[in-house]
Amino acid sequence: MLLEMKNIVKYFGPVQALKGVSLSVNKGEIHGLLGENGAGKSTLMNILAGTFLPTGGDIFFNGNKIENLNTKKTQNLGIRFIHQELNLVNDLSVYENLFLGEELIDKFGFLNKKEMIKKSKEVLERMSLDIDPRTEVRKLETSRKQLIEIAKALLFDAKLIIMDEPTTALTNKEIEHLFILMKKLKEHGVSMIYISHKMPELFSVCDKYTVLRDGTFIECGEFKNINEKKATELLVGKSLENEVTEEQSVFDEVLLEVKNISLLNKFKDVSFDLRKGEVIAITGLHGDGRDYLAESLYGVHKIESGEVFLKNKKLDYKNIEGTINSGISMVQRNRKERSIIKDMSILDNFSISRFVSKNKSFLINDKVQVERFDFRKKEMGIKLGNSSNTITSLSGGNQQKVIIGRCLELDTDVIILDNPTQGIDVGAKFEIYKIINALAKNGKGIIIFSSEYPEINKVADRCLVMYRGEINKELLREEFNELTIMHFATGANMEEKYE
Ligand SMILES: Nc1ncnc2c1ncn2[C@@H]1O[C@H](COP(=O)(O)OP(=O)(O)OP(=O)(O)O)[C@@H](O)[C@H]1O
Ligand SMILES: [Mg+2]
């Protein structure tokens, strides 16, 4: 056994996040840590990483009792934490990031660049990553940055790597790459703790599981002895209602007309209509223009040609506030970078949309804001202590719910959701899909950008599949399944065109 955490208790002021949780991990094992939003997964791992001190409990590593953990001590033990939020410095090169805080010094006391570059090269090769260690980190794709974090763990000979939702910014292909790497590490005796809300991932890469619920230990076992349904029941604490997707009634009235819009080198000649009551999913592989398309519809990038009409009125896209007031709102992807304001309270993060809303009033009415927040809190099951705490005191998934709630408050005709259920647990996802369906029923038009087939399947009436910046195929509900979507997303039908 490599790690044993016993009866761990953690209070944040009056909030008890962990109520006596235990976790054991063997050498060379990938251990999945499961639980709903706010169950205590990140808190438990932050204790192991030495970021938070536990209020009570014991930790054993390699048979030795470990006390007064701090980040340095954990690193020396060979425990490495890969956060969901990237911790790289964009202005530094890859090798400088790899050795940040642990630089190699030569015998004269100077930085030993040559040795650091050499070592970096070795580790990147071991990971089959074709990256020059001298590249500036800002030039790398997000997914590559994630892999650099793992390289860092390898470089220092990690014995245990903690990965807290490492795949939220990765595409399916990159996830596969990551899994191959994890399996390779496992063969070398490295242990890993893997946190994710995506069941297929957990089942494909993990050996054992531990389930937490509301800060308590529920069960530990082997994945081979359970199925997804059972795992979901364990973490929700009940079986989910039968997942019937209601037949949607799409109205005839067209809300949004997108006509031949292009953005140089990103996407080309994209056209589609969105009707009242309709939910469209737009999917495709990373780098195929999906991200830029989503942002352009919102006005973040200036489209170079083409036009967008909302209720027959041409949009001028002068600024985001204008876009919102014309009737389009958006939940952007990558919450930490684009959506949350870290130092502000939960309530203020939620209420900030009132400043751009059409119905804005110059009198700031706190009572109304609190009421609105309470409504969304109930609707989405947001778990929190006090809404005047900073947003960062919420678990990842609960932060995301606040951001979605904020967008819904704008009450626009068209709602764009870019990777909206990132970090949200299975039960809450279900609630959010219900909200999306209800909005559509009330005549809103919704565009959801997503890579997750189960999500597309659950909410979309139509699916547009992108390939190399173009819409390769439009699939109707009865036509789409995981295979057809992959087929068109990989351009399998386009071989001749690109020969
Ligand atoms: N710094 C903090 N201050 C106050 N409360 C906190 C803090 N960090 C976490 N909590 C609370 O502890 C509980 C557990 O949060 P934690 O982040 O561990 O959940 P999680 O299982 O990682 O959830 P998710 O899947 O949403 O990431 C939550 O109720 C959260 O609000
Ligand atoms: Mg978390």
Tokens of 285: 């592989």
As a whole number of angstroms, the distance between CA 92 and CA 439 comes to 45
Domain at 96, CATH number = 3.40.50.300
Contact 172, 130 (CB under 8 A): no
Among 236, 267, 295, where does a domain finish?
236
Tell me: the pLDDT tens digits for 138-166? 998 777 887 888 888 888 889 999 999 88
**Which of 480, 467, 422 minimizes the C-alpha distance to 279?**
480
In a domain, 397, yes or no: yes
As a whole number of angstroms, the distance between CA 33 and CA 393 comes to 20
Instruction: Find the mean pLDDT for residues 371-384.
Output: 90
Tokens of 48: 């192991």
Per-residue pLDDT at 240: 59
Does the beta carbon of 393 sit less than 6 angstroms from any atom of ligand 1?
yes
> Which residue's C-alpha comes closest to atom 29 of ligand 1?
38
161-175, 236-250, 269-283, 470-484: least confidently modelled range? 236-250
The residue whose CB lies within 8 Å of the most ligand 1 atoms, and thus the one to mutate among 213, 217, 349, 395, is 395
Ligand 1 atom at minimum distance from 13 CA: 4
> Which residue's C-alpha comes closest to atom 18 of ligand 1?
40
The three-state secondary structure class of 16 is strand
In a domain, 199, yes or no: yes
Instruction: Find the mean pLDDT for residues 411-436.
Output: 89
**Residues, beta carbon < 5 Å, ion ligand 2:** 42, 395-396
> Which residue's C-alpha comes closest to atom 16 of ligand 1?
40
Ligand 1 atom at minimum distance from 46 CA: 18
Instruction: Find the mean pLDDT for residues 106-130.
Output: 90
Does the beta carbon of 41 sit less than 6 angstroms from any atom of ligand 1?
yes
Contact 301, 388 (CB under 8 A): no
Query: Based on the domain organization, do 348 and 477 belong to the same domain?
Result: yes
CA distances (Å), 407 to each of 328, 413, 417, 436, in order?
10, 12, 9, 12
As a whole number of angstroms, the distance between CA 243 and CA 433 comes to 11
**Which strands form 313-314's sheet, in the order they lie side by side?**
267-275, 254-263, 305-310, 313-314
In a domain, 490, yes or no: yes
Half-sphere exposure of 221 (CA within 13 A, CB side): 12
Question: Residue 182 phi/psi, 5° resolution?
Answer: -65, -40
Q: How many domains, in total, are found in the chain?
A: 2
Beta partners for 18?
10
The answer to whether residue 56 scores a pLDDT higher than 70 is yes
The three-state secondary structure class of 12 is strand
212-221, 244-253, 304-313: least confidently modelled range? 244-253
In a domain, 409, yes or no: yes
In a domain, 135, yes or no: yes
Query: Based on the domain organization, do 225 and 115 belong to the same domain?
Result: yes
The three-state secondary structure class of 96 is helix
Query: Based on the domain organization, do 106 and 164 belong to the same domain?
Result: yes
| 426 conformational bin, left if phi > 0, alpha if psi -120 to 50, beta if neither | alpha
As a whole number of angstroms, the distance between CA 469 and CA 489 comes to 11
For residue 330, name the pLDDT band (cuts at 50, 70, 90).
very high
Among 236, 266, 284, where does a domain finish?
236
CA distances (Å), 11 to each of 47, 54, 128, 197, 348, in order?
12, 8, 42, 24, 25
The answer to whether residue 374 scores a pLDDT higher than 70 is yes
Distance 397 CA to ligand 2 centre (A): 7
As a whole number of angstroms, the distance between CA 100 and CA 55 comes to 31
In a domain, 110, yes or no: yes
Which position has the higher pLDDT, 150 or 461? 461
The answer to whether residue 499 scores a pLDDT higher than 50 is no
The residue whose CB lies within 8 Å of the most ligand 1 atoms, and thus the one to mutate among 21, 42, 391, is 42
DSSP state of 318: -
Among 236, 267, 290, where does a domain finish?
236
The residue whose CB lies within 8 Å of the most ligand 1 atoms, and thus the one to mutate among 10, 15, 197, 402, is 15
Query: Based on the domain organization, do 354 and 458 belong to the same domain?
Result: yes
The three-state secondary structure class of 355 is helix
Ligand 1 atom at minimum distance from 395 CA: 17
The answer to whether residue 234 scores a pLDDT higher than 50 is yes
Distance 82 CA to ligand 1 centre (A): 17
180-189, 348-357, 481-490: least confidently modelled range? 348-357
The answer to whether residue 473 scores a pLDDT higher than 90 is yes
Distance 315 CA to ligand 1 centre (A): 41
Query: Based on the domain organization, do 88 and 193 belong to the same domain?
Result: yes
Query: Based on the domain organization, do 228 and 317 belong to the same domain?
Result: no
Longest Cα–Cα distance of the chain, Å, equals 76
Query: Based on the domain organization, do 265 and 231 belong to the same domain?
Result: no
CA distances (Å), 27 to each of 162, 211, 438, in order?
13, 20, 48
The answer to whether residue 26 scores a pLDDT higher than 50 is yes
The answer to whether residue 321 scores a pLDDT higher than 50 is yes
Of all residues in the chain, the percent with pLDDT exceeding 70 is 94
Domain interval for residue 487: 254-498
The residue whose CB lies within 8 Å of the most ligand 1 atoms, and thus the one to mutate among 12, 164, 196, 336, is 12
Total residue length of the chain: 499
Does the beta carbon of 42 sit less than 6 angstroms from any atom of ligand 1?
yes
Does the beta carbon of 39 sit less than 6 angstroms from any atom of ligand 1?
yes
Query: Based on the domain organization, do 302 and 442 belong to the same domain?
Result: yes
CA distances (Å), 462 to each of 327, 447, 472, in order?
21, 10, 14
The whole-chain average pLDDT of the chain stands at 88
Query: Based on the domain organization, do 226 and 258 belong to the same domain?
Result: no
End-to-end CA, the chain: 53
Does the beta carbon of 383 sit less than 6 angstroms from any atom of ligand 1?
yes
Ligand 1 atom at minimum distance from 212 CA: 21
Query: Based on the domain organization, do 273 and 223 belong to the same domain?
Result: no
Q: Is the sign of the CA dihedral 109, 111, 117, 120 positive or negative?
A: positive
Contact 445, 412 (CB under 8 A): no
- The pairing of strands 56-61 and 3-12 is antiparallel
Query: Based on the domain organization, do 209 and 288 belong to the same domain?
Result: no
Tokens of 422: 């990132």
CA distances (Å), 199 to each of 32, 169, 238, in order?
10, 17, 17
Instruction: Find the mean pLDDT for residues 183-191.
Output: 91
> Which residue's C-alpha comes closest to atom 9 of ligand 1?
393
Ligand 1 atom at minimum distance from 44 CA: 18
In a domain, 248, yes or no: no
| Residue 392 burial by Cβ neighbours in a 10 Å radius (0-12, 13-18, 19+) | middle
Query: Based on the domain organization, do 161 and 193 belong to the same domain?
Result: yes
In a domain, 91, yes or no: yes
Tell me: the pLDDT tens digits for 242-287? 554 556 677 889 999 999 999 998 999 999 999 999 999 999 887 7
Tell me: the pLDDT tens digits for 72-115? 899 899 999 887 667 788 899 999 999 988 888 888 888 999 99
The answer to whether residue 346 scores a pLDDT higher than 70 is yes
Of all residues in the chain, the percent with pLDDT exceeding 90 is 54
**Could you tell me where the beta strands, DSSP code E, fall in 13-129?**
15-25, 30-34, 56-61, 64-66, 79-82
